[in-house]
């Protein structure tokens, strides 16, 4: 297979991976347009051109590498690939056509090879998150090449440019140009009425590799500083949460103790009121309080005398008791027990 025709896989919504054999030398327009799930594709090394809108609206595509054999990136080749973050252009690419990367919102940095000669109309238009563009060769920037890239801040020319259109950066509010004392850059800045602090010379690095390494080092340091700040913020938040949680526990315990004490007092008050009402109702009804007395039974004294066994013994015992009674000082004589009685009555009794 050497060719993939126009619209061959257009609107294949479920297509996510494509392995194109190296024998393919031509891919037609709209071949993979609107493959919204496509996230992995390898462009064959023998391909010389990316046709019009070949990968347009592939909204899941995140990275792409353009081989060295590809000389032209066609019109709208990556139009509205809004998740495309990394684009690697090999030495060999000579032209980026109109709207090739239009509205690729996720692009953050672009490095253009030395062989690139032209970036056409709206090629990177409305790439709102693009912040830096680096040119390793003398590349022509036509009208609106980077229009409305609102966060584009740095343009680096490692070689002196000779053709920058006055409207190449229309809609870019803040821009700083880095170059090697290029007169053309100075003229462009004067036409754009840029401030002198926005035109800077490149650092004196002889090797561009050292410059890129320095840039990556600075970016890593910046990321490290941000990471440290994030860690500090997380620690502060954790401490605040611990303090608030401890305070919440103390307050909860205090309220719990107060609630238990209030319940205890309420129950005691209720018991007192119930006792008072019971006493009042019993006094109103006239009922007397019943008092139960428990008497301890007396122990019977067991006489040590033996029971008389016959009638004669019983009579003798009776006579003895009488004699003891008369001998007692407190005992009265039978005659003085009844003083009011007459002698006749006593006689009669006898």
The owner of tokens 């006898």 is 350
Q: Above 90 in pLDDT, residue 32?
A: yes
pLDDT (mean) for 19-34: 94
The least confident of 10-24, 90-104, 309-323 is: 309-323
pLDDT (mean) for 282-300: 52
Q: For 194-210, write each residue's pLDDT tens digit.
A: 777 777 876 644 444 54
Sign of the CA dihedral running 210, 212, 213, 217: positive
The least confident of 33-37, 41-45, 132-136, 306-310 is: 306-310
Check residue 245 and give its pLDDT.
87
The least confident of 115-124, 140-149, 196-205, 306-315 is: 306-315
Confidence category of residue 214, pLDDT binned at 50, 70, 90: low
Q: For 100-130, write each residue's pLDDT tens digit.
A: 999 999 999 999 999 999 999 999 999 999 9
Q: For 73-86, write each residue's pLDDT tens digit.
A: 999 999 999 999 99
d(CA 277, CA 212): 96
pLDDT (mean) for 13-22: 91
Contact between 67 and 45 under an 8 Å Cβ cutoff? The reply is yes
pLDDT (mean) for 25-46: 94
| DSSP-derived secondary structure letter, 270 | H
Check residue 116 and give its pLDDT.
94
d(CA 146, CA 126): 7
Q: What is the DSSP pairing of strand 3-4 with strand 26-27? A: parallel
Domain-wise residue ranges, the chain: 3-171
Look at 338 and 312; give whichever has higher pLDDT: 312
How far is CA 320 from each of CA 142, 228, 328, 332, 335, rounded to the nearest angstrom? 162, 124, 13, 17, 20
| Mean residue pLDDT across the chain | 80
Question: Which of 3.40.50.720, 3.90.1150.10, 3.40.47.10, 3.80.10.10 is the CATH number of 3-171?
Answer: 3.80.10.10
Look at 328 and 250; give whichever has higher pLDDT: 250
Q: What is the CA radius of gyration of the chain?
A: 59
Greatest CA separation found in the chain?
180
Q: Above 80 in pLDDT, residue 87?
A: yes
d(CA 78, CA 74): 9
Contact between 171 and 149 under an 8 Å Cβ cutoff? The reply is yes
Token pair, residue 305, equals: 């005398």
Check residue 267 and give its pLDDT.
86
Contact between 133 and 158 under an 8 Å Cβ cutoff? The reply is no
Token pair, residue 332, equals: 């009265």
Confidence category of residue 318, pLDDT binned at 50, 70, 90: low
Helix (H, G, I), strand (E, B) or coil at 34: coil
């Amino acid at each position: 297979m050497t060719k993939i025709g126009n619209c061959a896989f257009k609107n294949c919504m479920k297509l996510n991976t494509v392995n194109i054999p190296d024998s393919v030398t031509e891919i037609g327009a709209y071949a993979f347009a609107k493959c919204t799930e496509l996230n992995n594709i390898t462009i064959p090394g023998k391909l010389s051109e990316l046709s019009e809108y070949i990968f347009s609206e592939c909204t899941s595509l995140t990275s792409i590498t353009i081989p060295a054999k590809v000389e032209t990136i066609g019109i709208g080749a990556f139009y509205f690939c809004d998740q495309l973050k990394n684009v690697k252009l090999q030495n060999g690419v000579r032209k980026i056509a109109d709207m090739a990367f239009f509205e690729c919102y996720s692009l953050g940095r672009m490095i253009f090879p030395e062989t690139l000669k032209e970036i056409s109309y709206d090629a990177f238009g409305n790439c709102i998150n693009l912040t830096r563009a680096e040119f390793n060769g003398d590349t022509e920037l036509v009208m609106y090449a980077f229009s409305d890239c609102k966060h584009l801040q740095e343009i680096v020319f490692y070689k002196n440019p000779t053709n920058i259109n006055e409207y190449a950066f229309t809609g870019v509010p803040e821009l700083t140009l880095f170059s090697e004392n290029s007169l053309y850059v100075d003229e462009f800045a004067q036409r754009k009425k840029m401030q002198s602090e926005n035109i800077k010379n490149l650092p004196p690095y002889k090797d561009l590799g050292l410059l890129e390494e320095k840039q990556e080092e600075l970016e890593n340091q910046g990321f490290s500083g941000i990471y440290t700040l994030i860690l500090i913020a997380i620690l502060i938040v954790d401490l605040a949460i611990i303090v608030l949680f401890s305070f919440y526990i103390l307050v909860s315990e205090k309220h719990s103790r107060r609630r238990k004490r209030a319940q205890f007092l309420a129950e005691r008050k209720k018991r007192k009121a119930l006792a008072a009402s019971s006493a009042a109702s019993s006094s109103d009804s006239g009922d007397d309080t019943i008092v139960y007395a428990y008497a301890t039974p007396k122990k019977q004294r067991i006489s040590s005398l033996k029971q008389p066994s016959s009638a004669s013994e019983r009579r003798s015992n009776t006579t003895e008791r009488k004699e003891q009674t008369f001998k007692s000082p407190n005992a009265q004589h039978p005659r003085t027990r009844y003083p009011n009685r007459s002698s006749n009555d006593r006689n009669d009794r006898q």
